[in-house]
Amino acid sequence: MNKDKKRFTLIDNELKKEYQLDGIKGSTGPDVINIAGLYKETGLFTYDPGFTSTAACNSKITFIDGEKGILLYRGYPIEELANNSSYLEVSYLLMHGELPSESDKKEFENTIRNHSLLNEQISYFFRGFRRDAHPMAMMIGVVGALSAFYHDSLNIEDPEHRMISTHRILAKMPTIAAMAFKYHLGQPFMYPLNKYDYTDNFLHMCFATPTEDYEINQLYSKIMDQIFILHADHEQNASTSTVRTAGSSLANPYACISAGISSLWGKSHGGANEAVINMIDEINNSNLNPKNFIDEVKNKKNKIRLMGFGHRVYKSYDPRAKVLKKSTEELFKELKIKSKELEIAKEIEELALEDDYFKEKSLYPNVDFYSGILLKALGIPTTMFTPIFAIGRTIGWLSQWKEMIEDKEFKITRPRQLYSGEINKNYKKVVEREKKSIFNLLWLKKTFLNNQ
């Protein structure tokens, strides 16, 4: 991090005072204004709901240029990695900062392979869930519960403990996701097999059964691996920021990753891939055509969003969506089948990219727009889309968590607020208080009945 010569002046017109703020230059991307001492010096906070203009940390892992549609992992363009690398190689890169040598790669793959099995007690956790539980709900619970199994390595301040925890989480995530899937289906859990690589093992644990031989389709495995790579990290997105915030209190990494999975689940974030398929199915099964649907989205009163479109950072085509669109088209070509979903998606994309509403707001397809169609073509049910995103994102969460703990400027995350509530109220005994309105009473009754 270089201190830039650039300085900024903040002028308080009321007090007729000036404050000097330093600029800091990154290796690329927008410079930042260092406001770390602002409150001490001025008594003022900055206000930035949703952090649209706030750099919450200093990171060397991932860079996004949202205007140009560029995404780099440790300096390498995402397209090159997605088309040439493997998920575990990319994981090593994100975690350690450089691509591994041949021997380091082998050692890393072996380490991960040797941690893929779960403690047998974990299977009882699954059995506590309803069969119709969403796999994300099970993953949140089970990943958090892993903290109860590894007391030997929970000293966050010990680098060796941190490393073994990262290996364990990375290795066990596909096992947990596949178990959630199998539990949902009512099929027996399939143990990981160490003869397989990371992604083959995941497909084996999802689709094999004890009664039949299961042959892994190498094309499917290659695509799944590419999906993991494309989701591996995305700088300070909501779930990664959640992991950093949870970890900033020195909580254990299992708890932090469980928090990240929770944040990812929302349909504004990782849940969007599931929402895209639901949206396309709705168009397919109703009288709407893509053009009508786009009109419905543009009529803001409906509060319908075009799922898989728009991004806080990308104001151009998401480079991950480009890779996935190409892979989706290639897969259907290879399988020699026509996909109604792909046709609808492409039509929506074409209409939206030509439409002034989307052009003015710079709304383009994001990573979720094509990933659902691709996953569905691989035989993955909709409820597993976000768990697959979570598997891919795990290495990003872990790398960012490790980077944070090792950062010299590391501090517990503690944002401040603009308070706009009431002040100086006097306590009244319950008999002196006003009656609750009828609406509040109805709400209480409904809540009470729902909880019966």
Q: How far is the CB of 166 from ligand ACO (least distance, A)?
A: 22
Residue 309, strand partner residues: 365
Among 25, 60, 105, 312, binds ligand ACO (CB under 6 A): 312
Regarding 325 and contact with ligand ACO (CB under 6 A), the answer is no
Q: How far is the CB of 298 from ligand ACO (least distance, A)?
A: 8
**By beta-carbon distance, which residue lies closest to ligand ACO?**
310
**CA angle, residues 285, 291, 295, in degrees to nearest 5:** 105
Among 72, 368, 373, 398, binds ligand ACO (CB under 6 A): 368
**CA angle, residues 335, 336, 341, in degrees to nearest 5:** 85
- Beta-carbon contacts of residue 6 (< 8 Å; ≥ 6 apart): 22, 23, 25, 31
Supply the DSSP symbol for 209: B
Comparing CB distances to ligand ACO, the nearer of 310 and 396 is 310
Three-class SS string for 133-148?
Answer: CCHHHHHHHHHHHHHH
Among 192, 290, 308, 319, binds ligand ACO (CB under 6 A): 308
Regarding 95 and contact with ligand ACO (CB under 6 A), the answer is no
The yes-or-no answer on residue 161 being catalytic is no
Q: How far is the CB of 383 from ligand ACO (least distance, A)?
A: 17
- Cα 245 to chain center, whole Å? 14
Q: Is 290 helix (H, G, I), strand (E, B) or coil?
A: helix
Regarding 272 and contact with ligand ACO (CB under 6 A), the answer is yes
Regarding 269 and contact with ligand ACO (CB under 6 A), the answer is yes
The yes-or-no answer on residue 96 being catalytic is no
Comparing CB distances to ligand ACO, the nearer of 197 and 296 is 296
Residue 203 carries which side chain, given as an amino acid letter?
L
Regarding 319 and contact with ligand ACO (CB under 6 A), the answer is no
Sole window of 185-193, 302-310, 332-340, 400-408 interacting with ligand ACO (rule: CB under 6 A):
302-310
State both tokens at 98: 């450089």
**Size of residue set near ligand ACO by CB under 6 A:** 18
Residue 331 carries which side chain, given as an amino acid letter?
L
Residue 246 carries which side chain, given as an amino acid letter?
A
Among 96, 305, 326, 346, binds ligand ACO (CB under 6 A): 305
Sole window of 177-185, 249-257, 288-296, 303-311 interacting with ligand ACO (rule: CB under 6 A):
303-311
Cβ atoms within 10 Å of 24's Cβ, excluding its own: 15
Regarding 307 and contact with ligand ACO (CB under 6 A), the answer is yes
Regarding 361 and contact with ligand ACO (CB under 6 A), the answer is yes
Regarding 297 and contact with ligand ACO (CB under 6 A), the answer is yes
d(CA 338, CA 329): 10
Of 311, 318, 356, 407, the catalytic one is 311
Q: Which of 388, 382, 181 is closest to 278 using CA atoms?
A: 382
Regarding 268 and contact with ligand ACO (CB under 6 A), the answer is yes
Q: How many CA atoms lie within 13 A of 118 on its CB side?
A: 28
Question: Token match 């010990």: residue?
Answer: 158
Cα separations in angstroms, 176 against 182, 216, 354: 10, 19, 42
Supply the DSSP symbol for 425: P
Residue 219 carries which side chain, given as an amino acid letter?
L
Regarding 366 and contact with ligand ACO (CB under 6 A), the answer is yes
Sole window of 114-122, 159-167, 285-293, 299-307 interacting with ligand ACO (rule: CB under 6 A):
299-307
Regarding 311 and contact with ligand ACO (CB under 6 A), the answer is yes
Sole window of 249-257, 306-314, 424-432, 439-447 interacting with ligand ACO (rule: CB under 6 A):
306-314
Regarding 340 and contact with ligand ACO (CB under 6 A), the answer is no
Sole window of 246-254, 265-273, 333-341, 378-386 interacting with ligand ACO (rule: CB under 6 A):
265-273
**CA angle, residues 366, 370, 376, in degrees to nearest 5:** 145
Cα separations in angstroms, 36 against 29, 235, 242, 258: 20, 21, 21, 30
Catalytic residue numbers, as ranges: 311, 368
Interface residues toward ligand ACO, by CB under 6 A:
268-270, 272, 297, 305-312, 361, 363, 366-368
